[in-house]
Amino acid sequence: MSDTQTEPGAGEALVEIRNVHFARGNRTILNDLSLTIGRGKVTAIMGGSGCGKTTLLNLIGGRLRPVSGRVLVDGLSVPDLNTRDLFELRKRMGMLFQSGALLTDLDVFENVAFPIREHKHLPEPILRNVVLMKLEAVGLRGARDLMPSELSGGMARRVALARTISLEPMMVMYDEPFTGLDPISKGVIAKLIRELNTGLGITSILVSHDVADACAISDYAYLIGNGRIIGQGTPREMQQSAVEEVRQFMEGLPDGPVPYRYPAPDYLDDLLQGDNA
């Protein structure tokens, strides 16, 4: 969390997004968006609900293709990869879903073991040790026999995190990791994200609308609005930003560049029309 760093690319870039345009039907979701994720950094991507943050993660993970623009991960152009290369790349990146996305028919141990069983042929005793190490890293070694339905929201997300790091990825994408958690669980997740980043050198992309939690653990932050970057900088720079759109978001002001009211005809006219009807 150095204050001196002003350029996200200070250090090497792991993910580069250049002039990406993405649309669903007629609705433009990302418009000429460019950003850089530094290797070994925790980068927060913030923005209001529905502003395209999760879409951005899906573009990086290759689950969606941009209409135009480039998405580079570790030097590879993600939209141009064939299925096999894309899957090879995905083994090196993890994604933590908002819901955890644990497989409901497997217990905690088997969930964490799942990617390892699918991709590596480890002897059972070694596999057991690897899984227990991952579970220990998130403090849930004792919960190995529970089923996902028996876990609290925070625990489920920690198990999912253990599973995400089970293939020892170079990068983890967190989709709204704090949403719907109590303060203690939030703190635990924040601590884990930071620990994994410093301890294992995992590059982290943190998508969140939770300003305080995201700023507390990130090295650099981007703010997305209307499909483009409206602000970027270190968390401190963001909090002191003079740009009105950034200030509205960071301080949670109800009215500002993002209007409080949904566009509507004149209030008085609207009410009078009821009399005429």
Strand 42-47's sheet: what is its strand order? 93-96, 171-175, 203-208, 42-47, 220-225, 228-233
Please identify which residue in 65, 119, 120, 236 interacts with other proteins, judged by CB under 8 A: 119
Does 154 participate in binding other proteins (rule CB under 8 A)?
Answer: no
User: How far lies 208's CA from each of 18, 186, 188, 236, in Å?
Assistant: 21, 12, 16, 17
- C-alpha–C-alpha distance, residues 3 and 193, integer Å: 20
177 touching other proteins, by CB under 8 A: no
Task: Say how far apart CA 239 and CA 237 lie, in whole Å.
Answer: 5
Sequence-ordered strand ranges (E) for 53-209:
68-73, 76-77, 93-96, 171-175, 203-208
Interface residues for other proteins in 50-89 (CB under 8 A)? 61, 63, 83, 87-88
Choosing from 5, 28, 99, 179, the residue that interacts with other proteins (CB under 8 A) is 99
Residue 168 is a binding residue for other proteins (CB under 8 A): no
Q: Quick check: 253 binds other proteins (CB under 8 A)? A: no
Crossing angle of helices 183-200 and 153-164, rounded to 10°: 10
Q: Cα angle at 159 between 90 and 147, to 5 degrees?
A: 120
When the beta carbons of 63 and 191 are compared against other proteins, the nearer one is 63
- The residues that bridge with 68 in the sheet, in sequence order, are 21
Q: Which stretch binds other proteins (CB under 8 A): 65-73, 111-119, 128-136, 225-233?
A: 111-119
Name which of 54 and 241 has its Cβ closer to other proteins.
54
In the complex, minimum distance from the CB of residue 21 to other proteins, in angstroms, rounded to a whole number: 23
Number of residues that bind other proteins (CB under 8 A): 24
Positions in the binding site for other proteins (CB under 8 A)? 61, 63, 83, 87-88, 90-91, 93-95, 97-99, 101-104, 114-115, 118-119, 160, 163, 167
